[in-house]
């Protein structure tokens, strides 16, 4: 059986076009949220709110083949008034996880102590459900 060159070219072209991207891509901007977390992705930074904490990731948030890895900060909050001389409980943090089809699995680890803060499931376009400390 003889294969026509045009058919062979078409099959090779289809296979090449069907391959997945390998470079970093931007996380869709706007709100992402879930239980106990809301995240706002912007063009130059990302802000997160948790029940009794908040976090920030400087720079554009991107993924590589769906994997998210970003350095930022994590700040524990407490209830009641905040005094002028209150020391913030701020830590460098590693935000990591996976993003696919408008869903994100996010884990947070404090890099100065190795403590794992937790894992969160977020959905694009959802505001999230956060109850701040009283």
Minimal CA–CA distance to 72: which of 60, 88, 87, 86?
60
Instruction: Write phi, then psi, for 10 (nearest 5 degrees).
Output: -60, -40
pTM over 0.95: no
* 64-87 residue pLDDT tens: 999 999 999 999 998 776 666 666
* 55 close to 93: Cβ distance less than 8 angstroms: yes
* 94-111 residue pLDDT tens: 999 999 999 999 999 999
**Category of 119 on φ-ψ map: left (φ > 0), alpha (ψ -120 to 50) or beta:** beta
Is the pLDDT score of 1 beyond 60?
no
Instruction: Calculate the average pLDDT of the chain.
Output: 86
Taking the C-alpha atoms of residue 98 and residue 120, their distance in angstroms, rounded to an integer, is: 11
* 19-73 residue pLDDT tens: 455 678 999 999 999 999 999 999 999 999 999 999 999 999 999 999 999 999 9
- pLDDT at position 120 is 98
Domain residue spans of the chain: 23-124
Taking the C-alpha atoms of residue 89 and residue 76, their distance in angstroms, rounded to an integer, is: 5
């Amino acid at each position: 059986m003889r294969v026509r060159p045009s058919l062979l070219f078409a099959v090779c072209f289809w296979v090449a076009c069907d391959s997945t991207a390998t470079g970093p891509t931007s996380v869709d901007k706007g709100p992402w949220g879930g239980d106990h977390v809301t995240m706002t992705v912007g063009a130059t930074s990302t802000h997160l709110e948790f029940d009794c904490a908040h976090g920030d990731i400087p720079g554009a948030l991107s993924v590589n083949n769906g994997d998210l890895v970003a350095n930022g900060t994590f700040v524990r909050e407490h209830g009641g008034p905040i005094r002028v001389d209150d020391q913030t409980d701020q830590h460098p943090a590693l935000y990591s996880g996976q993003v696919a089809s408008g869903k994100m699995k996010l884990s947070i680890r404090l890099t100065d102590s190795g403590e794992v803060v937790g894992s969160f499931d977020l959905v694009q376009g959802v505001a999230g459900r956060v109850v701040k400390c009283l």
